[in-house]
């Protein structure tokens, strides 16, 4: 797929995010929007997955360690064909298979339940170790928040991944710079993120998380990296694509009201129309 | 009398893993820098490629085990009960219990019989913690024979299982041809009409011995080995209540939330009986030899005998 095509998909995924959260009247739009381009590249380009055969054995695996950004994950899975896009409107509603945080038992395409921060990366390391021991070619990807790096378990997992030289394992950090209580470097700074992962024996790549050329290059480089896992530190904008949500910590876990929803969708419609002109 | 063979159930755990590992290539074993103590070192020696030492990071180990289980492999994650059920409680709840993953948790060094290491390492709360997790199976074997059978049954069971083992070498009491281990099925070791002991782990043998002492006083005590704490064999409890009207639970665990509480849940709802709960009485332990501590905290045959005599007055 070329960049324009990917950008169009990402824009549709963003619409799905905003619609799902608006419909649920709760949820986490900020970090879902910031990671939308990463989700797009992972599920539409990078990973060996098949919506028609979602449990196939030799698939690549993904764990959303920052589980609260499930709306982004669900929207990406829906647009990739794992379940109807229309169902995004059932997000967080009683009886829905789209739980507030990912539930592997009920949601097609979800490889691991997550939501308690710091735990998803451990499960992803487990998947990568299983592939290593049983000599399988599966690759494992996990997406972390930058605030999530404050959880000690992240570093327990990173230490083991580096120690075991898991070159089938890729960590992506959605570095949008904001957490619930404010800026990450004002709450409890995890910086320098790249140097930390380097110290844990990761190959580290810093990218602009909204630039598909850089995203593509980073994943390609990760594939070529042998003898160590890769950490992609993606600089992103929280709330990306919705004018009034961008770079606002307050949109971490808030749903738009009717008026705000209309503005958000108008922003995204305009962006979509602009892409069609290209 | 010939000397009774004594084996610590943690040793049985390591031996059983190594034995099962031969037959089943899909078993991997994880440890957190305690392989020599949990005895997973026996498996490690036999199958080094399938043994993962996660270092001193129990929370991560539980998550890693969960991830491995999603790929269809059966992980046994091992540490002391304190650091498995205690430190990693939330990882077990959210990464193993909630997704119902096929992870087996091998928790050794449970209870007061840890001995000299003292209160920080004596976990008397693990059963209470694990019982609250929906779908968790809890096995607390009483000797070598039962521990090995429990490991095999845990492997065959689909879903999360918590296995509780001890550090102290305990008498082998189940070495008989008709012994059969079935998850959720209590074993009646002795019939009786005045009172029923419901015990698990190392207190099963102490209860059997206490029953013998009571017998001399003309008191007929039944003894039930409740090796599975969850799912509890409710019918066995109901039958005991009906048959003897008095029940004594004995466990190397806090009287809050363990076997005694589980039995009382059944008694309160289904069949009334008078219950005496013998266990660790809402206190922390201390350093000392295992045998000394078992006596000091009232879990030995004589202490049990005295308490039951009082209870039956």
- Specify the pLDDT at position B2: 61
Q: H-helix or E-strand containing B53?
A: strand B51-53
Class for the domain spanning B187-312: alpha beta
Residues B99 and B139: beta-carbon distance below 8 Å: no
Q: For residue range A155-170, list pLDDT tens digits in order.
A: 999 999 999 999 999 9
- Specify the pLDDT at position B3: 77
pTM of the predicted model as reported, rounded to 2 decimal places: 0.97
Q: Please tell me the distance from the alpha carbon of residue A261 to that of residue A257, in angstroms, as a whole number.
A: 6
Class for the domain spanning B6-171: alpha beta
The domain segmentation of chain B, as residue ranges, is: 6-171, 187-312
Q: Please tell me the distance from the alpha carbon of residue A157 to that of residue A96, in angstroms, as a whole number.
A: 32
Average pLDDT over every residue of A117-130:
98
Provide the mean pLDDT of chain B. Answer: 97
ipTM tops 0.85: yes
pLDDT at A188 over 80: yes
- Specify the pLDDT at position A199: 98
* Contact flag A112-B67 (C-beta cutoff 8 Å): yes
> Which candidate in B19, B23, B58, B234 is catalytic?
B58
Largest Cα–Cα separation, chain A: 53
Please, which pLDDT band fits residue A278 given cuts at 50, 70 and 90? confident
Q: Please tell me the distance from the alpha carbon of residue B56 to that of residue B79, in angstroms, as a whole number.
A: 10
pLDDT less than 50: residues of chain B:
1
Asked if B58 is an active-site residue, the reply is yes
Q: Please tell me the distance from the alpha carbon of residue A72 to that of residue A11, in angstroms, as a whole number.
A: 11
What tokens were used for A89? 């409107």
Taking the CA atoms of chain A, what radius of gyration do you get in angstroms? 17
- A contact residues 160-179, partner B, Cβ 8 Å cutoff: 160, 163
B214 touches chain A (CB under 8 A): no
Q: For residue range A70-102, list pLDDT tens digits in order.
A: 999 999 999 999 999 999 999 999 999 999 999
Domains B6-171 and B187-312 share a fold: yes
Instruction: Say whether B307 sits in a helix, a strand or coil.
Output: helix
Cα of B77 to nearest chain A Cα, Å: 12
Q: Please tell me the distance from the alpha carbon of residue A2 to that of residue B92, in angstroms, as a whole number.
A: 43
Q: Please tell me the distance from the alpha carbon of residue A23 to that of residue A277, in angstroms, as a whole number.
A: 30
Strands B187-190 and B221-225: antiparallel
Q: Which CATH code, of 3.30.565.10, 3.40.920.10, 3.40.50.970, 3.40.710.10, is assigned to A3-277?
A: 3.40.50.970
The domain segmentation of chain A, as residue ranges, is: 3-277
């Amino acid at each position: 797929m070329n960049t324009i095509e990917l950008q169009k998909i990402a824009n549709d995924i963003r619409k799905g995010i905003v619609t799902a959260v608006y419909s649920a009247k709760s949820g986490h739009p900020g970090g879902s929007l910031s990671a939308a381009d990463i989700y797009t590249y992972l599920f539409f380009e990078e990973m060996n997955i098949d919506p028609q055969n979602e449990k196939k054995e030799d698939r690549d695996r993904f764990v959303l360690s920052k589980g609260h950004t499930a709306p982004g994950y669900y929207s990406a899975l829906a647009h990739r064909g794992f379940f109807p896009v229309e169902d995004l409107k059932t997000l967080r509603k009683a009886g829905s298979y789209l739980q507030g945080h990912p539930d592997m038992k009920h949601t097609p395409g979800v490889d691991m339940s997550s939501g308690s921060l710091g735990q998803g990366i451990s499960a992803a390391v487990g998947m990568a170790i299983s592939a290593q021991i049983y000599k399988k070619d599966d690759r494992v990807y996990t997406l972390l928040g930058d605030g999530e790096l404050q959880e000690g378990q992240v570093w327990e997992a990173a230490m083991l991944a580096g120690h075991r030289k898991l070159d089938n394992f890729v960590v992506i950090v959605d570095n949008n710079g904001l957490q619930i209580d404010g800026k990450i470097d004002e709450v409890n700074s995890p910086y320098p993120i790249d140097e930390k992962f380097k110290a844990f024996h990761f190959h580290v790549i810093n990218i602009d998380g909204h630039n598909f050329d850089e995203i593509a290059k980073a994943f390609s480089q990760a594939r070529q990296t042998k003898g160590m896992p890769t950490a992609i530190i993606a600089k992103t904008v929280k709330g990306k694509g919705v004018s009034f949500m961008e770079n606002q910590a307050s949109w971490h876990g808030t749903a738009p009201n009717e008026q705000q929803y209309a503005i958000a969708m108008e922003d995204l419609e305009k962006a979509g129309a602009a892409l069609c002109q290209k | 009398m010939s000397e009774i063979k004594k084996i610590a159930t943690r040793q049985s755990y390591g031996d059983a893993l190594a034995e099962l590992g031969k037959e089943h290539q899909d078993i991997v074993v994880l440890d957190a820098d305690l392989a020599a103590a949990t005895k997973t070192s026996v498996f490690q020696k036999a199958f080094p490629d399938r043994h993962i030492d996660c270092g001193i990071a129990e929370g991560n180990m539980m998550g890693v085990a969960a991830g491995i289980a999603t790929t269809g492999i059966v992980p046994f994650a091992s540490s002391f009960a304190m650091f498995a059920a205690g430190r990693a409680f939330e990882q077990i709840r959210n990464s193993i219990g909630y997704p119902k993953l096929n992870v087996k948790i091998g928790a050794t060094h449970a209870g007061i019989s840890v001995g000299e290491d003292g209160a920080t390492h004596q976990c008397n709360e693990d059963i209470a913690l694990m019982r609250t997790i929906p779908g968790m199976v809890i096995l607390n074997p009483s000797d070598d024979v039962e521990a090995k059978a429990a490991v095999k049954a845990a492997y065959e069971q689909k879903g999360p299982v918590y296995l509780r083992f001890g550090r102290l070498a305990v008498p082998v009491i189940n070495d008989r041809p008709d012994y059969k281990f079935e998850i959720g099925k209590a074993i009646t070791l002795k019939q009786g009409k005045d009172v029923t002991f419901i015990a698990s782990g190392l207190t099963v043998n102490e209860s059997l011995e206490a029953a013998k002492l009571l017998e001399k006083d003309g008191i007929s005590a039944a003894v039930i080995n409740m090796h599975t704490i969850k799912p509890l064999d409710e019918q066995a409890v109901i039958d005991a209540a009906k048959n003897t009207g008095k029940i004594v639970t004995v466990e190397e665990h806090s009287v809050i939330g363990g076997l005694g509480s589980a039995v009382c849940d059944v008694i309160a709802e289904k069949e009334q009986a008078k219950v005496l709960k013998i266990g660790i009485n809402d206190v922390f332990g201390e350093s000392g030899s295992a045998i000394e501590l078992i006596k000091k905290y009232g879990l030995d045959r004589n202490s049990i005998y005295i308490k039951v005599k009082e209870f039956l007055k």
